[in-house]
Structure 1
Amino acid sequence: MRIEEISGNDREQALKLVLSVFMEYEAPDYSEQGMQTFKDFIGNREAIDCLKIYGAYLDDELVGVIATRNHGNHIALFFVDGRHHQKGIGRKLFEYALEKSTGNKITVNSSPYAVEVYKKLGFVPNSGEQVVDGIRFTPMTYIKG
Structure 2
Amino acid sequence: MDIRRIESEDVAAVAELIRRNFDEVMIKYHSVPILEQFKNHSTAVNIWEQMTWKEIFVAEANDDIVATGALADFGENGAPKYSISNFFVKPELHRQGIGRSLFNYLLEVCKTKKVRDLHVPSSRNGLKFYKKMGFVPDNEQKDLAEEITWMTLKLE
> Fold match, TM over 0.5?
yes
Against the structure 1 CA distance between its residues 105 and 55, is the aligned structure 2 distance closer, same or farther, given a 3 Å change threshold?
same
Deviation string for 1:44-85 (max 9, x for gaps)? 353454222111111111111112211782111111112211
Describe the SS at the equivalent of 1:9: helix
Aligned partner of 1:137 in structure 2 is 148
- Residue 22 of structure 1: how far off its partner (Å): 2.0
Separation of aligned partners in 2, 1:62 and 1:4: 10
Against the structure 1 CA distance between its residues 91 and 72, is the aligned structure 2 distance closer, same or farther, given a 3 Å change threshold?
farther
- Residue 93 of structure 1: how far off its partner (Å): 0.4
Q: Is the CA contact 2:83–2:119 (under 8 Å) kept in the aligned structure 1? A: yes
Higher strand share: 1
Q: Which ranges of structure 1 fall in alignment gaps of 5 or more residues?
A: none
Q: Is the CA contact 1:127–1:138 (under 8 Å) kept in the aligned structure 2? A: no
> Looking at both structures, which has the greater relative contact order when contacts are Cα pairs under 8 Å and sequence separation is at least 6?
1
Q: Which ranges of structure 2 fall in alignment gaps of 5 or more residues?
A: 74-79
TM-score (norm 1): 0.87
Aligned partner of 2:77 in structure 1 is none
Q: Is 1:52 aligned to 2:61, yes or no? A: no
TM-score (norm 2): 0.82
| Equivalent AA in structure 2 for residue 107 of structure 1 | H
Q: Is 1:3 aligned to 2:8, yes or no? A: no
Does 102-111 or 27-36 show the bigger shift?
A: 27-36
Does 104-113 or 35-44 show the bigger shift?
A: 35-44
Matched-pair identity in % = 31
Q: Is the CA contact 2:22–2:39 (under 8 Å) kept in the aligned structure 1? A: no
**Pair member with larger Rg:** 2
